[in-house]
Structure 1
Amino acid sequence: MNELDALVNIDLKHKEFKAEHSSLQLFRMGTCGSVNPEVQVDNMLVTQNVVGLDGLMHFYQDYRFENEFSKNFMDKFPYPNIKPMLYFSDWSEELGNLYQDAAYHGNTATFPGFYAPQGRQLRLKALDNRFLETLNDLGVTNFEMETSAIYALSKLLGHKAITVNNVIANRRRGEFSADHHASEKRLITWVLDRIIP
């Protein structure tokens, strides 16, 4: 994100900030798992609000974000050792308007790892086997590993961002896409058709 911004807002030859700010439109297309048992696999889900569990934005000055989703989430989040790492952001409503016909609009949790944060265990035990269910109880629809940084850094840097995910698993129901490659191709076409005339 910092490097994309640098390409348009820093004079790399002279190592100076440009006087005129350029705002990018950033589209993330990816995959996600759902924590909501009602979400069907192989459908498009647009992220409206996001909670980051990776702590990234606590390393940046001046990042503040609060809305109804974040306040409710922080009030009820029951894991005191994780709570200080949390941060929140939301979509570019302008870009979101391009995808009003998505099957789902939801609240996403961005995880810092593939195993314990997502409820998977090999030799090491996960914190809580109800973690994904708890997130759903707090209004989270799905999870992945990128959106919180994209949304939050976009806000700080003055860009617009949107994430459109292909739901390839419903972890609460134990349901998985039979052919996620095909549904991912449909996602790419569906997203691009709305931004390329």
Structure 2
Amino acid sequence: MRTAFEVLGTPLIALLIGVIVAMFTLGRAAGFGRARISSAIADSLPPIAGILLIVGAGGGFKQTLVDSGVGKVIGEAAQGANVPVLVLGWLIAVGIRLATGSATVATISAAGIAAPLAAGLSPAHVALLVLAIGAGSLFFSHVNDAGFWLVKEYLGMSVGETIRSWSVMEAIISVVSFCCVLLLGLVV
């Protein structure tokens, strides 16, 4: 059973408190009445509902990977491979990013899978592993990514245009960042 302090210390409660404070401080300061604040909140939910569903589904997929033991299997296979840890961390993050579309899910899942591999690393190399996983999580944003849809909608592009511009740019950022991590790995 969780105590009241544990419940109040969760990110969801922090976000709820932030929204409530913003409603009163910013809404009232702008001269909005109770009805106007309520209307603004109600009008803001439909445009983001799809994005929330996509992000939630990505989190559910991550938990499925963890609960089914796939992460453990990948981690054990990775330990037996003769692949440098930085490359492995990046590849795991890329694979999860491509499967789920979510950079957040890719980062969290890859970090959990690579954690046992980081046990014997120096603090500098652990930091490089974190950077490699972060770079891998950016690889090729696609239709399962909430950010993909944000960019598409805000810039008024088609799905094909977004893939040819945004997705390719994300892949380039990922690869260049990973190359920089590898170069840092040679120096550290």
Q: Which has the higher relative contact order, 1 or 2, with Cα contacts under 8 A spaced 6 or more apart?
A: 1
Which TM-score band applies after superposition, normalised by the shorter structure?
Answer: under 0.3
Larger Rg: 2
TM-score by length of 1: 0.26
TM-score by length of 2: 0.27
